[in-house]
Structure 1
Protein backbone atom coordinates (compact mmCIF):
# COMPACT_ATOMS: atom_id res chain seq x y z
CA UNK A 1 0.00 0.00 0.00
CA UNK A 2 1.29 3.49 -0.87
CA UNK A 3 2.34 5.81 1.88
CA UNK A 4 0.46 9.07 2.32
CA UNK A 5 1.99 12.55 2.43
CA UNK A 6 0.30 15.88 3.05
CA UNK A 7 1.99 18.88 1.44
CA UNK A 8 0.88 22.36 2.48
CA UNK A 9 1.13 25.21 0.01
CA UNK A 10 1.12 22.76 -2.88
CA UNK A 11 -0.17 25.05 -5.63
CA UNK A 12 3.22 26.37 -6.77
CA UNK A 13 6.97 26.42 -6.19
CA UNK A 14 8.46 24.00 -3.67
CA UNK A 15 5.11 22.49 -2.70
CA UNK A 16 4.10 21.59 -6.22
CA UNK A 17 7.52 20.12 -7.03
CA UNK A 18 7.52 18.11 -3.78
CA UNK A 19 4.10 16.66 -4.56
CA UNK A 20 5.20 15.75 -8.08
CA UNK A 21 8.36 14.07 -6.82
CA UNK A 22 6.58 12.05 -4.14
CA UNK A 23 3.89 10.81 -6.50
CA UNK A 24 6.58 9.82 -9.00
CA UNK A 25 8.06 7.63 -6.25
CA UNK A 26 4.78 5.91 -5.47
CA UNK A 27 3.40 8.08 -2.69
CA UNK A 28 -0.19 9.28 -2.59
CA UNK A 29 -0.56 12.92 -1.58
CA UNK A 30 -2.94 15.30 0.10
CA UNK A 31 -2.52 18.79 -1.35
CA UNK A 32 -3.44 21.96 0.53
CA UNK A 33 -3.67 25.50 -0.78
CA UNK A 34 -5.99 28.48 -1.19
CA UNK A 35 -6.36 28.36 -4.98
CA UNK A 36 -8.91 25.69 -5.86
CA UNK A 37 -8.36 25.83 -9.61
CA UNK A 38 -4.64 25.16 -9.15
CA UNK A 39 -5.29 22.33 -6.71
CA UNK A 40 -7.74 20.69 -9.09
CA UNK A 41 -5.30 21.02 -11.99
CA UNK A 42 -2.51 19.47 -9.93
CA UNK A 43 -4.71 16.57 -8.86
CA UNK A 44 -5.41 15.85 -12.53
CA UNK A 45 -1.73 16.12 -13.40
CA UNK A 46 -0.75 13.71 -10.63
CA UNK A 47 -3.09 10.97 -11.76
CA UNK A 48 -6.48 11.93 -10.42
CA UNK A 49 -8.30 11.21 -7.15
CA UNK A 50 -6.68 7.81 -6.65
CA UNK A 51 -3.28 9.47 -6.24
CA UNK A 52 -4.01 12.96 -4.93
CA UNK A 53 -6.67 14.65 -2.83
CA UNK A 54 -7.15 18.45 -2.64
CA UNK A 55 -7.92 20.41 0.53
CA UNK A 56 -8.69 24.04 -0.23
CA UNK A 57 -8.29 26.30 2.82
CA UNK A 58 -6.18 29.13 4.22
CA UNK A 59 -3.47 27.73 6.49
CA UNK A 60 -4.02 30.71 8.83
CA UNK A 61 -7.60 29.62 9.59
CA UNK A 62 -7.60 27.00 12.35
CA UNK A 63 -11.26 26.06 11.98
CA UNK A 64 -10.87 25.68 8.22
CA UNK A 65 -7.86 23.42 8.76
CA UNK A 66 -9.77 21.29 11.27
CA UNK A 67 -12.77 21.00 8.97
CA UNK A 68 -10.63 20.16 5.94
CA UNK A 69 -8.78 17.37 7.72
CA UNK A 70 -12.06 15.85 8.90
CA UNK A 71 -13.11 15.67 5.23
CA UNK A 72 -10.20 13.41 4.28
CA UNK A 73 -11.46 10.11 2.88
CA UNK A 74 -10.26 7.02 4.68
CA UNK A 75 -7.75 6.12 1.96
CA UNK A 76 -5.94 9.44 2.53
CA UNK A 77 -6.32 9.74 6.31
CA UNK A 78 -3.34 7.66 7.48
CA UNK A 79 -0.71 10.39 7.04
CA UNK A 80 2.89 9.16 7.08
CA UNK A 81 4.59 12.43 6.10
CA UNK A 82 3.72 16.06 6.79
CA UNK A 83 5.57 18.59 4.64
CA UNK A 84 5.05 22.05 6.13
CA UNK A 85 5.81 24.08 3.04
CA UNK A 86 3.16 26.82 3.14
CA UNK A 87 4.79 30.15 3.89
CA UNK A 88 5.62 33.53 2.47
CA UNK A 89 7.71 36.66 2.73
CA UNK A 90 6.23 40.12 2.26
CA UNK A 91 8.46 43.13 1.69
CA UNK A 92 12.22 43.46 2.02
CA UNK A 93 12.66 46.92 3.50
CA UNK A 94 14.12 47.93 6.86
CA UNK A 95 11.98 47.25 9.93
CA UNK A 96 11.27 50.94 10.54
CA UNK A 97 9.60 51.23 7.13
CA UNK A 98 7.67 47.96 7.14
CA UNK A 99 3.93 47.41 7.08
CA UNK A 100 2.73 45.90 10.38
CA UNK A 101 -0.07 44.07 8.58
CA UNK A 102 2.51 42.30 6.41
CA UNK A 103 4.43 41.29 9.52
CA UNK A 104 1.27 39.79 11.02
CA UNK A 105 0.52 37.91 7.80
CA UNK A 106 3.99 36.33 7.83
CA UNK A 107 3.66 35.36 11.49
CA UNK A 108 0.15 33.95 11.01
CA UNK A 109 1.19 31.94 7.95
CA UNK A 110 4.76 30.86 8.70
CA UNK A 111 4.32 30.20 12.41
CA UNK A 112 0.69 29.94 13.50
CA UNK A 113 -0.48 28.01 10.44
CA UNK A 114 2.49 25.64 10.61
CA UNK A 115 2.12 24.79 14.30
CA UNK A 116 -1.66 24.42 13.97
CA UNK A 117 -1.63 21.79 11.24
CA UNK A 118 1.30 20.05 12.90
CA UNK A 119 -0.62 19.77 16.17
CA UNK A 120 -3.75 18.58 14.41
CA UNK A 121 -1.81 15.74 12.74
CA UNK A 122 0.53 14.74 15.57
CA UNK A 123 -1.55 11.86 16.90
CA UNK A 124 -1.75 10.35 13.42
CA UNK A 125 1.97 10.84 12.83
CA UNK A 126 2.80 9.21 16.17
CA UNK A 127 0.52 6.27 15.40
CA UNK A 128 2.17 5.90 11.97
CA UNK A 129 5.71 6.54 13.29
CA UNK A 130 5.86 9.16 10.58
CA UNK A 131 7.94 12.13 9.52
CA UNK A 132 7.59 15.91 9.72
CA UNK A 133 9.55 18.02 7.22
CA UNK A 134 9.48 21.75 7.91
CA UNK A 135 10.60 24.22 5.24
CA UNK A 136 12.64 26.88 7.00
CA UNK A 137 15.35 29.02 5.37
CA UNK A 138 18.99 29.96 5.72
CA UNK A 139 17.43 33.15 7.12
CA UNK A 140 16.78 31.10 10.26
CA UNK A 141 20.52 31.28 10.97
CA UNK A 142 21.91 34.14 8.89
CA UNK A 143 20.44 37.67 9.14
CA UNK A 144 20.34 40.08 6.23
CA UNK A 145 19.01 43.61 5.73
CA UNK A 146 15.25 43.47 5.19
CA UNK A 147 14.91 39.96 6.62
CA UNK A 148 13.50 41.15 9.96
CA UNK A 149 10.19 39.34 10.66
CA UNK A 150 10.50 36.81 7.82
CA UNK A 151 13.85 35.66 9.20
CA UNK A 152 12.36 35.58 12.69
CA UNK A 153 9.55 33.29 11.56
CA UNK A 154 12.01 30.89 9.96
CA UNK A 155 14.18 30.88 13.07
CA UNK A 156 11.05 29.81 14.92
CA UNK A 157 10.47 27.00 12.40
CA UNK A 158 14.01 25.73 12.91
CA UNK A 159 13.76 25.82 16.71
CA UNK A 160 10.26 24.34 16.68
CA UNK A 161 11.62 21.43 14.64
CA UNK A 162 14.29 20.76 17.25
CA UNK A 163 11.71 21.06 20.02
CA UNK A 164 9.46 18.52 18.30
CA UNK A 165 12.36 16.10 18.10
CA UNK A 166 12.86 16.44 21.84
CA UNK A 167 9.19 16.08 22.75
CA UNK A 168 8.69 13.10 20.43
CA UNK A 169 11.58 11.14 21.86
CA UNK A 170 10.69 7.46 21.91
CA UNK A 171 7.70 7.90 19.59
CA UNK A 172 9.50 6.95 16.39
CA UNK A 173 8.58 10.21 14.65
CA UNK A 174 11.33 11.85 12.62
CA UNK A 175 11.56 15.64 12.24
CA UNK A 176 13.68 17.57 9.73
CA UNK A 177 14.17 21.27 9.08
CA UNK A 178 15.16 22.03 5.48
CA UNK A 179 16.75 25.47 5.12
CA UNK A 180 17.20 26.66 1.52
CA UNK A 181 19.11 29.69 0.36
CA UNK A 182 18.58 31.59 -2.88
CA UNK A 183 15.77 29.76 -4.66
CA UNK A 184 13.81 30.64 -7.77
CA UNK A 185 10.04 30.40 -7.41
CA UNK A 186 6.79 32.34 -7.26
CA UNK A 187 7.74 33.08 -3.63
CA UNK A 188 9.84 36.04 -4.80
CA UNK A 189 7.05 37.50 -6.93
CA UNK A 190 4.81 37.40 -3.85
CA UNK A 191 7.49 39.09 -1.77
CA UNK A 192 7.97 41.91 -4.28
CA UNK A 193 4.29 42.41 -4.98
CA UNK A 194 4.57 40.92 -8.46
CA UNK A 195 7.61 42.97 -9.54
CA UNK A 196 8.94 40.89 -12.44
CA UNK A 197 11.91 43.23 -12.97
CA UNK A 198 13.02 42.77 -9.35
CA UNK A 199 12.57 39.01 -9.75
CA UNK A 200 14.74 38.99 -12.85
CA UNK A 201 17.47 41.10 -11.22
CA UNK A 202 17.66 38.82 -8.19
CA UNK A 203 18.25 35.65 -10.18
CA UNK A 204 20.20 36.96 -13.18
CA UNK A 205 23.36 34.90 -13.63
CA UNK A 206 23.05 33.36 -10.14
CA UNK A 207 21.98 29.80 -11.01
CA UNK A 208 19.68 29.68 -7.96
CA UNK A 209 18.19 26.57 -6.42
CA UNK A 210 15.11 25.28 -8.22
CA UNK A 211 11.96 23.79 -6.67
CA UNK A 212 13.03 20.40 -8.01
CA UNK A 213 16.21 20.60 -5.91
CA UNK A 214 14.19 20.98 -2.74
CA UNK A 215 11.78 18.26 -3.83
CA UNK A 216 14.71 15.90 -4.32
CA UNK A 217 15.95 16.73 -0.82
CA UNK A 218 12.54 16.07 0.74
CA UNK A 219 12.30 12.76 -1.08
CA UNK A 220 15.78 11.76 0.11
CA UNK A 221 14.93 12.54 3.73
CA UNK A 222 11.65 10.63 3.46
CA UNK A 223 13.33 7.60 1.87
CA UNK A 224 15.92 7.07 4.62
CA UNK A 225 15.56 4.12 7.01
CA UNK A 226 13.20 4.67 9.92
CA UNK A 227 16.08 4.78 12.44
CA UNK A 228 17.80 7.71 10.68
CA UNK A 229 16.83 11.31 11.44
CA UNK A 230 18.21 14.31 9.59
CA UNK A 231 17.88 17.18 12.08
CA UNK A 232 18.46 19.99 9.61
CA UNK A 233 19.81 20.59 6.13
CA UNK A 234 21.13 23.99 5.01
CA UNK A 235 21.23 24.27 1.21
CA UNK A 236 22.54 27.08 -0.96
CA UNK A 237 23.42 27.36 -4.63
CA UNK A 238 27.14 27.33 -5.29
CA UNK A 239 26.90 30.97 -6.33
CA UNK A 240 25.70 32.06 -2.89
CA UNK A 241 28.10 32.49 0.00
CA UNK A 242 28.91 34.94 2.82
CA UNK A 243 30.12 38.53 2.72
CA UNK A 244 31.81 40.66 5.39
CA UNK A 245 29.68 42.06 8.21
CA UNK A 246 28.28 45.49 7.47
CA UNK A 247 29.88 48.35 9.41
CA UNK A 248 28.26 51.77 9.72
CA UNK A 249 30.83 54.59 10.05
CA UNK A 250 30.05 58.11 11.17
CA UNK A 251 31.40 61.11 9.35
Structure 2
Protein backbone atom coordinates (compact mmCIF):
# COMPACT_ATOMS: atom_id res chain seq x y z
CA UNK A 1 0.00 0.00 0.00
CA UNK A 2 1.04 3.58 -0.63
CA UNK A 3 1.98 5.66 2.44
CA UNK A 4 -0.34 8.61 3.05
CA UNK A 5 1.37 9.77 6.25
CA UNK A 6 5.01 9.32 7.26
CA UNK A 7 6.44 10.46 10.59
CA UNK A 8 10.23 10.50 10.52
CA UNK A 9 12.41 10.73 13.64
CA UNK A 10 9.89 12.98 15.40
CA UNK A 11 10.94 14.53 18.73
CA UNK A 12 8.90 16.68 21.11
CA UNK A 13 10.20 17.89 24.48
CA UNK A 14 8.47 19.67 27.33
CA UNK A 15 11.39 20.89 29.42
CA UNK A 16 13.22 17.76 30.57
CA UNK A 17 10.38 15.44 29.49
CA UNK A 18 10.79 13.79 26.09
CA UNK A 19 7.16 13.17 25.08
CA UNK A 20 7.96 12.03 21.53
CA UNK A 21 11.26 10.22 21.25
CA UNK A 22 12.63 9.68 17.72
CA UNK A 23 9.28 8.36 16.52
CA UNK A 24 8.87 6.73 13.12
CA UNK A 25 5.34 5.92 11.97
CA UNK A 26 3.75 5.16 8.60
CA UNK A 27 0.02 5.17 7.86
CA UNK A 28 -0.81 3.65 4.49
CA UNK A 29 -3.57 4.80 2.20
CA UNK A 30 -6.83 2.99 2.97
CA UNK A 31 -5.87 1.41 6.31
CA UNK A 32 -7.02 1.89 9.86
CA UNK A 33 -3.85 2.23 11.92
CA UNK A 34 -4.24 2.15 15.70
CA UNK A 35 -1.81 3.92 18.01
CA UNK A 36 -1.96 2.38 21.47
CA UNK A 37 0.09 2.54 24.65
CA UNK A 38 -0.12 2.94 28.42
CA UNK A 39 -1.28 6.24 29.94
CA UNK A 40 1.40 8.89 29.48
CA UNK A 41 2.96 7.16 26.47
CA UNK A 42 2.65 10.32 24.38
CA UNK A 43 -0.20 9.38 22.03
CA UNK A 44 -2.12 12.65 22.26
CA UNK A 45 1.14 14.61 21.89
CA UNK A 46 1.72 12.82 18.59
CA UNK A 47 -1.80 13.71 17.42
CA UNK A 48 -1.18 17.35 18.32
CA UNK A 49 1.95 17.40 16.18
CA UNK A 50 0.13 15.83 13.24
CA UNK A 51 -2.56 18.52 13.28
CA UNK A 52 -0.10 21.39 13.84
CA UNK A 53 -1.23 22.25 17.38
CA UNK A 54 2.24 21.34 18.62
CA UNK A 55 5.47 21.96 16.76
CA UNK A 56 8.08 19.17 16.82
CA UNK A 57 11.56 19.91 18.11
CA UNK A 58 13.08 17.60 15.48
CA UNK A 59 12.05 15.29 12.68
CA UNK A 60 9.48 15.79 9.98
CA UNK A 61 5.92 14.91 8.97
CA UNK A 62 5.15 14.00 5.36
CA UNK A 63 1.52 13.90 4.19
CA UNK A 64 0.55 12.96 0.67
CA UNK A 65 4.18 13.26 -0.40
CA UNK A 66 4.59 16.81 0.97
CA UNK A 67 6.59 17.91 4.00
CA UNK A 68 3.94 19.53 6.24
CA UNK A 69 6.09 19.85 9.39
CA UNK A 70 5.83 23.64 9.43
CA UNK A 71 2.33 23.99 8.02
CA UNK A 72 -0.37 25.77 10.03
CA UNK A 73 -3.40 23.99 11.50
CA UNK A 74 -5.67 25.56 8.89
CA UNK A 75 -3.46 24.56 5.97
CA UNK A 76 -3.31 20.96 7.18
CA UNK A 77 -7.08 20.86 7.62
CA UNK A 78 -7.66 22.14 4.10
CA UNK A 79 -5.13 19.58 2.82
CA UNK A 80 -7.31 16.83 4.27
CA UNK A 81 -6.32 16.14 7.90
CA UNK A 82 -9.33 16.11 10.24
CA UNK A 83 -9.29 15.32 13.95
CA UNK A 84 -11.73 14.41 16.69
CA UNK A 85 -10.75 14.97 20.33
CA UNK A 86 -10.88 13.09 23.63
CA UNK A 87 -13.25 15.76 25.00
CA UNK A 88 -16.21 16.66 22.80
CA UNK A 89 -15.94 20.11 21.22
CA UNK A 90 -19.40 21.13 20.01
CA UNK A 91 -21.28 24.42 19.78
CA UNK A 92 -23.98 23.84 22.38
CA UNK A 93 -26.28 26.69 21.28
CA UNK A 94 -26.48 25.38 17.71
CA UNK A 95 -28.43 22.56 16.16
CA UNK A 96 -26.87 19.29 15.07
CA UNK A 97 -27.06 20.38 11.43
CA UNK A 98 -25.60 23.82 12.12
CA UNK A 99 -22.55 22.30 13.83
CA UNK A 100 -21.78 20.28 10.72
CA UNK A 101 -22.59 23.17 8.37
CA UNK A 102 -19.91 25.23 10.06
CA UNK A 103 -17.33 22.64 9.04
CA UNK A 104 -18.59 22.63 5.46
CA UNK A 105 -18.38 26.44 5.51
CA UNK A 106 -14.80 26.28 6.76
CA UNK A 107 -13.83 23.90 3.97
CA UNK A 108 -15.54 25.95 1.24
CA UNK A 109 -14.55 29.36 2.62
CA UNK A 110 -18.10 30.71 2.81
CA UNK A 111 -19.01 33.56 5.14
CA UNK A 112 -22.11 33.45 7.35
CA UNK A 113 -23.42 37.01 7.14
CA UNK A 114 -26.90 35.93 8.08
CA UNK A 115 -27.70 32.55 9.56
CA UNK A 116 -31.15 32.04 8.03
CA UNK A 117 -29.95 32.48 4.44
CA UNK A 118 -27.13 30.07 5.25
CA UNK A 119 -29.69 27.43 6.20
CA UNK A 120 -31.11 27.76 2.69
CA UNK A 121 -27.77 27.38 0.93
CA UNK A 122 -27.80 23.93 -0.63
CA UNK A 123 -24.01 23.85 -1.03
CA UNK A 124 -23.75 23.99 2.76
CA UNK A 125 -26.82 22.02 3.82
CA UNK A 126 -26.52 19.03 1.49
CA UNK A 127 -22.93 18.04 2.38
CA UNK A 128 -23.78 18.49 6.07
CA UNK A 129 -26.81 16.21 5.78
CA UNK A 130 -24.72 13.66 3.88
CA UNK A 131 -22.12 13.65 6.67
CA UNK A 132 -24.84 13.22 9.29
CA UNK A 133 -26.36 10.36 7.31
CA UNK A 134 -22.98 8.61 7.16
CA UNK A 135 -22.84 8.49 10.98
CA UNK A 136 -26.51 7.65 11.53
CA UNK A 137 -27.70 11.07 12.71
CA UNK A 138 -29.67 12.33 9.69
CA UNK A 139 -32.93 12.09 11.64
CA UNK A 140 -31.49 14.28 14.43
CA UNK A 141 -30.33 17.10 12.12
CA UNK A 142 -32.76 19.73 13.43
CA UNK A 143 -32.35 18.81 17.10
CA UNK A 144 -30.40 20.90 19.58
CA UNK A 145 -26.95 19.51 20.31
CA UNK A 146 -27.74 19.22 24.01
CA UNK A 147 -30.64 16.88 23.23
CA UNK A 148 -28.18 14.22 22.10
CA UNK A 149 -26.75 11.48 24.29
CA UNK A 150 -22.99 11.24 24.88
CA UNK A 151 -22.53 8.56 22.24
CA UNK A 152 -24.42 10.68 19.73
CA UNK A 153 -22.15 13.62 20.54
CA UNK A 154 -19.25 11.42 19.46
CA UNK A 155 -21.08 10.49 16.28
CA UNK A 156 -21.69 14.19 15.60
CA UNK A 157 -17.99 14.94 16.01
CA UNK A 158 -17.27 12.30 13.41
CA UNK A 159 -19.81 13.91 11.07
CA UNK A 160 -18.09 17.27 11.57
CA UNK A 161 -14.73 15.72 10.69
CA UNK A 162 -16.22 14.03 7.62
CA UNK A 163 -17.69 17.35 6.47
CA UNK A 164 -14.10 18.51 5.91
CA UNK A 165 -13.78 15.86 3.16
CA UNK A 166 -10.68 14.42 4.88
CA UNK A 167 -7.97 12.29 3.33
CA UNK A 168 -6.91 11.26 6.87
CA UNK A 169 -9.08 10.98 9.98
CA UNK A 170 -7.30 11.35 13.32
CA UNK A 171 -9.54 9.92 16.03
CA UNK A 172 -8.46 10.48 19.63
CA UNK A 173 -10.28 8.00 21.91
CA UNK A 174 -13.69 8.11 20.18
CA UNK A 175 -15.05 5.50 22.61
CA UNK A 176 -14.10 7.45 25.77
CA UNK A 177 -16.87 7.56 28.35
CA UNK A 178 -19.28 5.43 26.35
CA UNK A 179 -21.62 2.76 27.64
CA UNK A 180 -21.31 -0.77 26.28
CA UNK A 181 -24.20 -0.16 23.89
CA UNK A 182 -22.79 3.14 22.66
CA UNK A 183 -19.38 1.54 22.15
CA UNK A 184 -20.93 -1.18 20.00
CA UNK A 185 -22.59 1.47 17.82
CA UNK A 186 -19.31 3.37 17.44
CA UNK A 187 -17.31 0.24 16.61
CA UNK A 188 -19.83 -0.62 13.90
CA UNK A 189 -19.66 2.94 12.56
CA UNK A 190 -15.86 2.93 12.45
CA UNK A 191 -15.92 -0.46 10.73
CA UNK A 192 -18.03 1.09 7.97
CA UNK A 193 -15.99 4.30 7.75
CA UNK A 194 -12.69 2.46 7.36
CA UNK A 195 -13.90 1.10 4.02
CA UNK A 196 -13.72 4.60 2.57
CA UNK A 197 -11.30 6.54 4.78
CA UNK A 198 -7.73 6.29 6.03
CA UNK A 199 -7.82 6.46 9.83
CA UNK A 200 -5.26 6.88 12.61
CA UNK A 201 -6.98 5.78 15.81
CA UNK A 202 -5.86 6.38 19.38
CA UNK A 203 -7.92 4.17 21.66
CA UNK A 204 -7.67 2.41 25.05
CA UNK A 205 -10.43 -0.10 24.31
CA UNK A 206 -8.44 -3.12 23.17
CA UNK A 207 -11.56 -4.93 22.00
CA UNK A 208 -12.22 -2.09 19.55
CA UNK A 209 -8.58 -1.85 18.49
CA UNK A 210 -8.20 -5.55 17.71
CA UNK A 211 -11.57 -5.67 15.93
CA UNK A 212 -10.89 -2.64 13.73
CA UNK A 213 -7.19 -2.15 13.10
CA UNK A 214 -5.26 -3.28 10.05
CA UNK A 215 -2.00 -2.20 11.70
CA UNK A 216 -1.15 -1.35 15.30
CA UNK A 217 1.75 0.69 16.66
CA UNK A 218 2.54 0.52 20.37
CA UNK A 219 3.90 3.70 21.93
CA UNK A 220 5.90 3.61 25.18
CA UNK A 221 7.70 6.70 26.50
CA UNK A 222 7.26 8.38 23.12
CA UNK A 223 8.78 5.52 21.10
CA UNK A 224 7.08 2.94 18.91
CA UNK A 225 8.27 -0.35 20.39
CA UNK A 226 6.24 -2.56 18.03
CA UNK A 227 4.28 -2.19 14.79
CA UNK A 228 2.36 -4.88 12.96
CA UNK A 229 -0.96 -6.64 12.65
CA UNK A 230 -3.11 -6.98 15.78
CA UNK A 231 -2.10 -10.65 16.05
CA UNK A 232 1.60 -9.75 15.83
CA UNK A 233 1.31 -7.06 18.49
CA UNK A 234 -0.64 -9.32 20.83
CA UNK A 235 2.16 -11.89 20.69
CA UNK A 236 5.03 -9.43 21.12
CA UNK A 237 6.72 -10.06 24.53
CA UNK A 238 7.93 -6.44 24.74
CA UNK A 239 4.39 -5.18 24.28
CA UNK A 240 3.06 -7.53 26.95
CA UNK A 241 5.73 -6.38 29.39
CA UNK A 242 4.93 -2.72 28.69
CA UNK A 243 1.24 -3.26 29.42
CA UNK A 244 1.27 -6.01 32.03
CA UNK A 245 4.77 -6.14 33.45
CA UNK A 246 5.09 -9.81 32.47
CA UNK A 247 4.84 -12.11 29.47
CA UNK A 248 1.11 -12.85 29.71
CA UNK A 249 -0.74 -12.40 26.39
CA UNK A 250 -2.27 -8.98 25.72
CA UNK A 251 -5.95 -9.61 25.23
CA UNK A 252 -9.04 -7.59 24.42
CA UNK A 253 -11.77 -7.27 26.98
CA UNK A 254 -14.52 -9.88 26.69
Q: State the TM-score, normalized to the length of structure 2.
A: 0.28
- Taking CA–CA contacts closer than 8 Å with sequence separation of 6 or more, which of the two structures ends up with the larger relative contact order? 2
Question: Whose strand fraction is larger, Structure 1's or Structure 2's?
Answer: 2
Question: Whose helix fraction is larger, Structure 1's or Structure 2's?
Answer: 1
Q: State the TM-score, normalized to the length of structure 1.
A: 0.28
